[in-house]
Amino acid sequence: MAGIGNSGYWEDLRKQARQLENELDLKLVSFSKLCTSYSSCRDARRSDTSDTTPLLNNSTQDRMFDTMSVELEQLLAKLTAVNDKMAEYTNTPGSASLNAALMHTLQRHRDILQDYTHEFHKTKGNFLAIREREDLLGSVRKDIETYKSGSGVNNRRTELFLKEHEHLRNSERLVDDTISIAMATKENMTSQRGVLKSIQSKVNTLANRFPTINNLIQRINLRKRRDSLILGSVIGVCTIILLLYAFH
């Protein structure tokens, strides 16, 4: 490369680097303000009943964002190229005596480039995140407005469907409760039947073991039948007498 061994070439590279750094600094400030104003316009749009004006403003800001992003990327690429040329210059034999000072200067320009690159990507990432989030919220709001602006008949029909669904759920719940009560009653009766069978079995066992007790039980049963017959006869006679008395 022509002129790579003289100090004038190095100074020219440093001049180019400082100029690009100054341009990047100004551009990044404007870029950050653009992102801040974009977020403010989005916030204003949320509280505004009419979305037309904020939407136009954000459309313009989107174009400005794309333009400034391209310009910043080009400036960063140019500054990277200048830094590469400065690094190449520090490796030439003619600059060996000043290598420490040159490396210190080069490192400072590299740090500045790294800071500007980091700031650019951070601001750009924040801007894209805000735009993506707001676009999603805008889509949701649009769907809500579309739903609200639907015909009253459809809304009324939807409400009726929901009420009917709730009634069906209540009926199903009532049927489940009734079935549960019936199952519990069945289990209780089954348990009682088992207890009665157990008692009867014990009584039969006792009767078989002790004939006297068996005879006594039979006599008691016969007396109960006789008493029942006597009581039935008395009731029948009394009923007949009352009927005869009533008809006379």
Which of 39, 34, 42, 40 has the alpha carbon at shortest distance from 63?
A: 34
**pLDDT for residue 54:** 46
- Kind and range of the H or E run holding 5: none
**pLDDT for residue 131:** 82
DSSP letter string over 67-80?
HHHHHHHHHHHHHH
**pLDDT for residue 219:** 81
Q: How far is CA 162 from CA 158, 165, 223, in A?
A: 6, 5, 69
Q: What's the predicted TM-score (pTM) here?
A: 0.50
Which of 109, 107, 102, 34 has the alpha carbon at shortest distance from 68?
A: 34
Q: What value does the CA radius of gyration of the chain take, rounded to a whole number of Å?
A: 51
CATH level 3 topology of 3-141: Methane Monooxygenase Hydroxylase; Chain G, domain 1 (1.20.58)
Q: Supply 245's token pair.
A: 């008395």
> In the chain, where are the structural domains located?
3-141
Which of 29, 59, 27 has the alpha carbon at shortest distance from 41?
A: 59
**pLDDT for residue 2:** 42
User: What span, in angstroms and rounded, lies between the C-alpha atoms of 49 and 35?
Assistant: 23
2 φ/ψ angles, rounded to the nearest 5 degrees: -70, 135
**pLDDT for residue 166:** 83
Give per-10-residue mean pLDDT for the chain (248 aa).
Answer: 61 92 92 80 53 54 88 93 90 67 88 92 88 76 63 67 81 77 74 74 67 74 84 84 75
Which of 30, 13, 31 has the alpha carbon at shortest distance from 80?
A: 13
User: What span, in angstroms and rounded, lies between the C-alpha atoms of 106 and 14?
Assistant: 9
User: What span, in angstroms and rounded, lies between the C-alpha atoms of 137 and 143?
Assistant: 10
**pLDDT for residue 63:** 87
